[in-house]
């Protein structure tokens, strides 16, 4: 799964190619079965609605408002969808019976709303037979996927900004349905309660989803806040890797990740965050009055599979969600002529055609270039940045040295100094002195309580903690059983460059994450020991210390900054790593040290097991921030197309931190704060999300489904692939990525010169704009017109002329700014990678 990353934790991922063999009456290797996703040539149900809209005279960009009108009568549409869906499923069954007559197979899903197709467990020979049928357009092998806030509303300025503009948190996001494709949800969490008698939640009439009822997810789990919940696991079950006890065959979240992301975007306002007995403030989602629909397709023990994710996307769109949030990415770059052609991205393209705004996490594979794991221009890709709140504590040693560390823990009593005792010096007579892991304090029976009682116990933090073989929670239990005053963890020297999130502790405690600082602690401790001159036994522990405690938050002025793990551009167009003319990520949002709801049975983070909240880091946490903010935009501008919402978020993004300096990007996993430089568009896209400004963007860049189709058709050799996935013929298309009307310009190869056009639409009042720009190094830029008046609702075309002034293969960056007299500022990032000038010299 793209893991909601406890920073530095190792993710063990099941790779593509884990198949379950079964006997189909043939005793050859050809009998090995796999899951295939089969796409039909006939259009899916959602495309008929698009045709209906076009016949009625509506432009494709208006399909969102038309979709809401269509869904004003959910009962009628539900019957229509059910009729069409069952008919298409019968067609799928008929084809399978005819093609595979007398053979064994297992159909897992019939997709009918966004794509017309099915997932089926068959042999390679059977898959080949299906691909030869004239009704079938494409057969693709299933693949694996992975999972990629008490303070962030304040950091984003929501209480005095975006919320205030929409009537306060009491109405923020009301009526908007966000669909989460993730690990499920804990329905009993107060973040998802609809118990607001003073202001009851409305029932969104355009939503027609259902709530599954199982033993783990009983009747009454859903309400007016959590309005839909399903799970999808057929592909996983066929592989024999689904563990019903651990993974739950229901929408219930046995992991914690899905509960966290749903609460980050849409959790209720003002929910107390209490962890390890300590109060850390009150939590709120970005759009606390929006509605939640859950489509569980990811699981703790194995991640997920594309066939299940596509089924979840298809169902979410049919149910009528307004926004889809995916904190997931593929485990590998999709093969083929372009990364955009994969079942998940193509299903999401159909979702965008239906008017649904789609957000995806960028991935946690940074900071290397081209590490981005979300590719397509119709998907809004979000990277992770820090916010200004953090937690740290420190230990003050008896030799007047202070060492900083981490730990959501209380301090020791005032300035009282306590004796330090290393675990390896407190072993009892029965402990195995040669046990190399005994110093990790995992078993109280190994230690002499008389030595430890009332003292600070020193334990080692090794790679076993990273792998989950040892836990801080168990070490704290050991310390408690031994009546220790607190615990001090030093970092094993073999754990190099490890980044550690604050960890909840009920006892006074600290983890020293630096191996160098750990050496300082141990040197002081060892030099303070008094030993018998003959036996060399310790007769006195002379080292003393006190712990300051890390429960109180501290705030940084150098925020936000791009986190080292956040995946970076440029966007790879294909598996050969050729660059696409598409900017990725689109922007960044808070993703580091995010407090949000946690499943009561969540196991994704051992240290937060049994807690109602958890602090997590990753692009998985950044994406739902944007999903919630998109709900606020959708609420204010209900007729905005998905690309218009993305444009509003992008063009208003901030380029500077709290003190007005350029946003910095961490460049290394080890010591990231010592390895940073100003962020580029390949680090942060358009910038750091500005929630308030996005609600008043002034101008927007709009793109339609037809534009995306022309872009796909413009890829060399793509006609047959486009036909296979969409059932639509390409015709002649010369459009490339630079021609898409995106709120950015990315040129992978500037061969001498080119002119690129962008069209802006005024969604505010009449205004006059001034145009300014800075050119990427190695190129000159000219924009026309340099001034323009634009009436409300009107469009203006901008022509941007690029000329290479030198030969270079190093990416360089610039920016276009549109400055309105009414205060609107529209930022357009420019990125040019390869530059080939006129002035070439032959040697």
Which of 410, 589, 422 is closest to 521 using CA atoms? 422
Q: Give the DSSP per-residue string, 680-736.
A: -HHHHTT-B--HHHHTS-SEE----HHHHHHHHHTSTT-HHHHHHHHS----S----
- H or E, element range at 37: strand 34-40
C-alpha 242/C-alpha 265 separation (Å) is 28
Q: Quick check: is 620 catalytic?
A: yes
Three-class SS of 246-259: HHCCCCECCCCHHH
Q: Give the DSSP per-residue string, 272-334.
A: EEEETTEEEEEE--SSTTSEEEEEE--BTTTBEEHHHHHHHHHHHHHHT-SEEEE-EEESSPP
For the record, the structure tokens of 801 come out as 């002329």
C-alpha pair distances (Å), 822 with each of 656, 764, 768, 772, 819? 22, 9, 8, 16, 9
Rg (CA), the chain: 28
Cβ(362)–Cβ(148) under 8 Å? yes
Q: Choosing from 110, 191, 620, 812, which is the catalytic residue? A: 620
Which of 299, 290, 296 is closest to 236 using CA atoms? 299
- H or E, element range at 522: helix 515-527
Sequence-distant (6+) residues with CB within 8 A of 841 are none
Write down the residue that tokens 């600082």 correspond to.
517
Q: Give the DSSP per-residue string, 413-474.
A: STT--EEEEEGGGSB-TTS-TT-TTGGG---GGGB-HHHHTTSEEEEEE-HHHHTTSS-HHH
Cβ(331)–Cβ(527) under 8 Å? no
Write down the residue that tokens 């960056």 correspond to.
813
C-alpha 712/C-alpha 691 separation (Å) is 31
Helix boundaries (H) for 467-506: 472-481
How far is the first Cα of the chain from the last one, in angstroms, to the nearest whole number?
Answer: 52
Q: Choosing from 151, 189, 231, 257, which is the catalytic residue? A: 257
C-alpha 6/C-alpha 17 separation (Å) is 27
Q: Quick check: is 279 catalytic?
A: no
DSSP class of 658: T
C-alpha pair distances (Å), 35 with each of 109, 139, 307, 466? 11, 10, 8, 33
Write down the residue that tokens 């350029």 correspond to.
662
Measured in residues, the chain has a length of 843
Helix boundaries (H) for 760-832: none
What are the two backbone dihedrals, phi and then psi, of residue 783, each rounded to the nearest 5 degrees? -115, 135
Q: Choosing from 182, 216, 247, 574, which is the catalytic residue? A: 182
Which of 772, 737, 379, 284 is closest to 587 using CA atoms? 379
Q: Give the DSSP per-residue string, 610-634.
A: T-SEEEE-SHHHHHHHHHHHHHHHH
Q: Quick check: is 182 catalytic?
A: yes
Cis peptide before 785 (omega within 30 of 0): yes
Residues designated as active site:
182, 257, 620
């Amino acid at each position: 799964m793209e893991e909601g990353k406890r920073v530095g934790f190792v993710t063990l991922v099941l790779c593509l190619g884990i198949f379950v063999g079964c006997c189909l009456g043939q005793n050859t290797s050809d009998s090995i079965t796999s899951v295939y996703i089969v796409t039909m040539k006939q259009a899916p149900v959602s495309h008929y609605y698009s045709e209906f809209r076009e016949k009625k005279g509506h432009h494709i960009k208006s399909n969102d408002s038309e979709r809401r009108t269509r869904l004003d009568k959910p009962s009628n549409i539900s019957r229509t969808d059910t009729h069409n869906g069952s008919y298409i499923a019968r067609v799928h069954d008929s084809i399978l019976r005819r093609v595979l007559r007398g053979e064994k197979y297992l159909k897992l899903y019939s997709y009918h709303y966004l794509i017309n197709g099915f997932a089926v467990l068959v042999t390679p020979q059977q898959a080949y037979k299906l691909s030869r049928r004239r009704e079938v357009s494409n057969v693709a092998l299933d693949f694996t996927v992975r999972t990629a806030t008490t303070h962030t509303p304040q950091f984003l300025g929501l209480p005095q900004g975006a919320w205030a503009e929409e009537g306060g948190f009491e109405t923020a996001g009301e009526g908007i349905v966000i669909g989460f494709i993730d690990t499920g949800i804990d329905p009993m969490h107060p973040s998802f309660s609809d118990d607001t008698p003073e202001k009851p939640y409305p029932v969104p009439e355009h939503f027609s989803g259902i709530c599954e009822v199982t033993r783990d997810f009983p009747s009454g789990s859903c309400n007016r806040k959590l309005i839909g919940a399903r799970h999808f696991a057929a592909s996983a079950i066929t592989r024999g890797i689904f563990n019903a006890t651990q993974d739950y065959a229901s929408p219930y979240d046995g992991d914690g990740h899905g509960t966290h992301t749903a609460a980050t975007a849409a959790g209720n306002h003002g929910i107390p965050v209490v962890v390890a007995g300590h109060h850390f403030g009150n939590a709120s989602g970005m759009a606390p009055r929006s509605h939640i629909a859950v489509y569980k397709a990811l699981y703790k023990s194995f991640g997920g599979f594309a066939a299940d994710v596509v089924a979840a996307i298809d169902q979410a769109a049919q149910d009528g969600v307004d926004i889809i949030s995916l904190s997931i990415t593929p485990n590998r770059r999709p093969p083929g002529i372009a990364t955009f052609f994969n079942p998940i991205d193509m299903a999401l393209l159909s979702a965008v055609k239906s008017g649904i705004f789609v957000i995806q996490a960028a991935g946690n594979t940074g900071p290397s270039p081209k590490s981005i794991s979300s590719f397509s221009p119709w998907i809004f890709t979000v990277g992770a940045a820090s916010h200004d709140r953090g937690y740290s504590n420190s230990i003050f040693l008896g030799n007047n040295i202070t060492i900083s560390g981490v730990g959501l823990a209380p301090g020791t009593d005032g300035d009282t100094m306590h004796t330090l005792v290393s675990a390896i010096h407190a072993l009892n007579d029965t402990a195995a002195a040669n046990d190399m892991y005994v110093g990790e304090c995992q078993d109280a029976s190994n230690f002499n309580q008389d030595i430890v009682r009332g003292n600070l116990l020193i334990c080692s933090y090794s790679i076993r903690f990273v792998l989950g073989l040892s836990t801080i929670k168990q070490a704290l239990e050991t310390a408690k059983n031994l009546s220790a005053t607190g615990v001090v963890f030093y970092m094993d020297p073999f754990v190099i460059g490890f980044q550690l999130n604050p960890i909840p502790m009920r006892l006074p405690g600290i983890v020293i994450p630096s191996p160098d600082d750990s050496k300082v602690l141990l040197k002081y401790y060892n030099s303070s020991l008094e030993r018998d001159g003959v036996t060399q036994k310790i007769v006195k522990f002379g080292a003393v210390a006190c712990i300051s405690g890390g429960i109180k938050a501290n705030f940084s002025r150098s925020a936000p900054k791009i986190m080292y793990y956040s995946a970076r551009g440029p966007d790879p167009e294909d598996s050969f790593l050729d660059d696409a003319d598409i900017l990725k990520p689109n922007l960044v949002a808070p993703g580091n040290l995010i407090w949000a709801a946690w499943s009561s049975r969540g196991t994704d983070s051992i240290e937060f097991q049994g807690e109602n909240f958890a602090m997590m880091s990753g692009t998985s946490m950044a994406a739902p921030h944007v999903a919630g903010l998109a709900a606020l935009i959708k609420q204010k501008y209900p007729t905005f197309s998905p690309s218009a919402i993305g444009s509003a978020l992008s063009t208003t993004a901030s380029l500077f931190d709290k003190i007005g300096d350029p946003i910095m990007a961490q460049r290394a996993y080890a010591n990231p704060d010592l390895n940073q430089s100003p962020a580029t568009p390949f680090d942060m896209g358009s910038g750091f999300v500005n929630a308030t400004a996005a609600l008043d963007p002034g101008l927007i860049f709009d793109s339609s489904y037809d534009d995306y189709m022309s872009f796909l058709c413009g890829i060399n050799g793509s006609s047959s692939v486009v036909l296979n996935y969409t059932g639509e013929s390409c015709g002649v298309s010369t459009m490339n990525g630079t021609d898409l009307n995106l709120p950015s310009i990315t040129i992978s190869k500037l061969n001498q010169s080119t002119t690129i056009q962008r069209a802006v639409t005024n969604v505010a009042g009449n205004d006059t704009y001034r145009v300014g720009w800075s050119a990427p190094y190695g190129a000159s830029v000219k924009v026309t017109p340099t001034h323009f008046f634009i009436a409300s609702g009107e469009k203006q075309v901008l022509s941007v002329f690029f000329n290479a002034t030198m030969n270079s293969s190093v990416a360089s960056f610039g920016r276009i700014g549109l400055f309105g007299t009414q205060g609107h500022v529209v930022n357009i990032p420019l990125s040019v990678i390869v530059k080939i000038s006129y002035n070439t010299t032959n040697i």
